Chain A
């Protein structure tokens, strides 16, 4: 029995992983060709202004050195071959190994995006429960309206206003970067730099999800079993936490998983406005300067985050929700009704 289970799990995992790999390969093809087809000169990012003064021979030589003179499909095959061996090439702009450049930036993004993601959903859940509890009350109405307004403000605009208020006028918080010059180790400096971008990431997504959770809960409260629970003598609070919230958790987790790309994208925009040295700014730069190798790796990282997020979400919600286990349904006769 146990062995059978282990086998089942491994088959399941292998299936998921192979599908993910195919998805990532497909993504890499797409990004590779799209980036090459975009107009512009990749040599500009490598040589800077000097690129314009290169003679045709020098240019050809440079292209050959960077491997850009071959046909695009061949370039792609070479790139895959190198990538499999762990060589993702060098960044044209930084003239360093791509992974080295990314390493430092990735942590910054994870701090901003990861914490922002968790905070967004923590607050969304709390706010959703709070509003569902006080359905149709004045407070609920106020929160709903304010929430709708905040979620409609574009992130970059919101960021600029915060910078204007807190950095320019009040001079309370720094407006850009991840830490003050020369203080990369200081936690305090990091935190003060995080405050404004974090506020934007959280606030701009918060209400969208809080409202979803509020509505899911209200739907759940209208179910018949809540009436039975009430007639047992359970209090509203008990019904909310022991029954309703529990029942929306699977939906909540799938929403979390599906929204991962949404929040990643939001983080990238915020990074750019605050010149926060993370992956977002880096991808923007690499796309702008035709830093092909860099762009490929960044896209893959983003893609992997999204795919992992989706799969994990699905797996968890299957575990939590007994209704999702299809294999058990067969035992009942109820199915024949359909």
Chain B
């Protein structure tokens, strides 16, 4: 992989949550991956697999217990470097959450929601310029002017998610982290939003970290996919390769659980179950074919 191509390099990231004096929960364990420029990288896994925690560590919402996150060759985990660059990083990295109902301030108008980060980062000078820009962003996500003065509570889930997307893309981010952005939406709306992501990614030339549990959408949208299982990254490969040639048993189980909207196929679908008694700690993450990494037992890499 060419070094210039890499936008984010996550190295051996671990994060623990502290529950009590002696109790810890390891949410993320020794996860390493790279996000290239202009790609959509997906992290998939079940709830509790630690995929959201990875995203939050990258946004510095959580302070990682261990490991480094290099963004454009700046180490975000280094306090001094972070202090020096945090303005720039806050502008270039944007996040979209699953639950747009609670992620948007209910008391603010849509116009203010979209323009707030712009004002904080002093992107625009004049008031009218700002307003024009906000309207332009709304148009990008398929909402018209009438939405400017509405409140989030008056919008449907899909429309609210569009507002969140408009706010994020308004900052012209280099990296967009989308934490389950379509999980709580209806099927037809999901499709709209996925198309929107695809379109905006091309338009803005940014990278997207797309976190999801819905594999069928991931298959359609992303360039590369990483599979997480209980805090470990167990497999990572280009999308096509992963779906056609899954190696790790957990990935296989996950792929077999995608429902097929066809009664005959669906009823004959065999579901693999993944019962793991293997200790994921003693394994290594090895490249089995170009860009296809799998968690394997030591000595298996051939």
Contact = CB atoms under 8 A, between A and B. Distances in A.
Contacts of A338: 17, 27, 53
Contact of B19 (A330, A333, A337): A330
Interface string B27-39: 1000000000000
Nearest to A326: B20
Interface of B, secondary structure class, is loop
A336 interface: yes
Nearest to B24: A330
Nearest to A329: B19
A336 B20 contact: no
A330 B23 contact: yes
Nearest to A334: B48
A337 B20 contact: no
B47 interface: yes
Contacts of A336: 17, 25-27, 48, 50, 53, 230-231
Query: Which of A333, A335, A336 is packed against the most chain B CB atoms within 10 Å?
Result: A336
B20 to A, nearest CB: 5
Nearest to A337: B48
B20 A327 contact: yes
A74 to B, nearest CB: 41
A326 B48 contact: no
Interface string B43-69: 000011010110000000000000000
Interface residues of A, number: 10
A97 B165 CA distance: 75
A10 to B, nearest CB: 18
A330 B48 CA distance: 14
Nearest to A327: B20
Nearest to A335: B25
Contacts of B26: 336
B56 to A, nearest CB: 9
Contacts of B230: 333, 336
A335 B17 contact: yes
A326 B19 CA distance: 8
Interface in A15-74: none
B47 A337 contact: yes
Contacts of B20: 326-327, 330
A98 B274 CA distance: 75
A145 B20 CA distance: 45
A8 B91 CA distance: 51
Contacts of A327: 20, 23
A335 B47 contact: no
A134 B121 CA distance: 52
B277 to A, nearest CB: 15
B219 to A, nearest CB: 25
B64 to A, nearest CB: 15
B48 A333 contact: yes
A230 B284 CA distance: 52
Contacts of A335: 17, 19, 25
A338 B15 CA distance: 12
A335 B50 CA distance: 11
A61 to B, nearest CB: 58
Contacts of A326: 19-20, 23
A272 B23 CA distance: 52
Contacts of A334: 48
Nearest to B27: A336
Contacts of B23: 326-327, 330
A179 to B, nearest CB: 54
Contacts of A333: 48, 230
14 contacts: A327-B20, A327-B23, A330-B19, A330-B23, A335-B17, A335-B19, A336-B17, A336-B48, A336-B50, A336-B53, A337-B47, A337-B48, A337-B52, A338-B17
Interface of B: 17, 19-20, 23, 25-27, 47-48, 50, 52-53, 230-231
Given A335-B19, A336-B27, A336-B231, 19 more contacts: A326-B23, A327-B20, A329-B19, A330-B20, A330-B23, A330-B25, A333-B230, A334-B48, A335-B17, A335-B25, A336-B17, A336-B26, A336-B48, A336-B50, A336-B53, A337-B47, A337-B52, A338-B17, A338-B53
Those 9 A-B pairs whose CB atoms lie nearest each other, nearest first:
A336-B48, A330-B23, A336-B27, A335-B25, A337-B48, A336-B25, A333-B48, A326-B20, A337-B47
